[in-house]
Amino acid sequence: MTQEHDYLTSHPWLTFDYRLDFELKAQLWARLGEAFSKCQHLTGTPLTPGVAQELGAVYLAKGALATTAIEGNTLSETDVTDILYGGRMLPPSQRYLQQEVENVVAALRAIDRNSRHGGTAITVDWIREQNRQVLAELETDDHVVPGDFTVSNVVVGNYRGAPPRDVPYLMDRLVAWIAQLTEGHNDQPPNVRFFGAFLAATLSHLYLAWIHPFGDGNGRTARLLECAILTNSGLVPWLSANLLSDHYNRTRSEYYRRLSNASRHGDVTGFICYAAQGFVDLLREQIELVQRQQLRVSWVNFVYQRFQSLPNTEATARQRTLLLSLPDGPTPLSAVRRLTPELAEQFAGRSDKTVTRDVNRLQSLGLAVVDRHTIEPAVYLMAAFIPGRANSSPRDQS
């Protein structure tokens, strides 16, 4: 008697089953608990529209670059930012690199839009559409039809995808499993729903990579699926929903090793733990960045309040401009008058003595830390609740 599906012999690890055992997976639960806590922290963090837009742009570029870089795209983060927000066009020989990134960005933006209108319905057709999107307007091999399941065996490195005739069946099972893991849990506490969403996201990524249903673009499609599931949960802020792609790209060799171990040795938990640890690490980075942005906003507000009590003179206005033009960290005094075009205009025709008087005035107000060669804004005044920084100047910490 022959088996109904060839994959049962060739790919026995495609079980669509993952047992949640607390004792055996305590480390995983600890990491997921921290990830949930950090997502809650970020979700409850107030940001000005300008800062939120800036951070969203940064992480959209990072995520799109990461998922394409894993597949060999050689653009830098600066290149991607210039393409997305600066209107830059690469020369014809590199245009395909730009197209790869723009395709992923379009898919990510669609996921974001859907999240504001009830979320993305994860269906087989939707997954096929993601593959069609990531391969749009790119040259592919003759056997590749974007968005269509492969009809020939797909081999990537030493890994062979599932038998083509089983792919439609396996994809139906995958979508049903995702629904089982993510739907009907609204009565559960948020942390339990987060755990389910994270498991569904990483397991679906893993299984789509194992099945390898398309002739090309499987990795990018799998990571978009992962991002959509996290976004659908409503428990992961959009800013963080694609952090895993960045993690996989930063640790690319480990990413491939974990994928291989999951199929060859059945170490599915190892892959999920690896993903969870990277997610936590990047959430920490993200929170630190958000805190720095909040600190800066608080500093600007504080400076304006402080200067409201001072005489409204040309010198006072110039000193405020100087203070708000200073970047974090020490700035050479010799560079002060050229920090910004506005500042250069205000110092035009004035001697270095004017600069010295302005610097000394900021120091006397307690708004800047000055030594013989540098000036630094006293942003530490805003850090009252940051351990180790309260009431100490940057020079005290050096």
Active-site residue identified among 212, 247, 265, 373 = 212
Taking each helix axis from N to C end, the angle separating 218-232 and 243-250, rounded to the nearest 10 degrees, works out to 140
154 is written with which tokens?
């797909």
Strand segments (E) across 242-388: 331-332, 368-370, 374-377
Q: Which residues pair with 332 in a beta bridge?
A: 374
235 in helix, strand or coil?
A: coil
Side-chain-side CA neighbours of residue 26 (13 Å) = 2
Q: At a CB cut-off of 8 Å and minimum separation 6, what does 362 contact?
A: 319, 322, 323, 368, 370, 375
Q: Looking at this protein, which amino acid is placed at residue 257? A: R
254 is written with which tokens?
């480990």
Largest CA distance in the chain: 96
233 is written with which tokens?
């949960």
| Strand order from edge to edge, sheet including 331-332 | 331-332, 374-377, 368-370
212 is written with which tokens?
């390898």
205 as an active site residue: the answer is no
C-alpha angle 70/76/82, rounded to 5°?
125
Q: How far apart are the first and last CA of the chain?
A: 76
Between CA 222 and CA 313 the distance in angstroms is 60
Q: At a CB cut-off of 8 Å and minimum separation 6, what does 394 contact?
A: 329, 330, 369, 376, 380
Contact between 278 and 244 (Cβ < 8 Å): yes
Give catalytic residue positions. Answer: 212
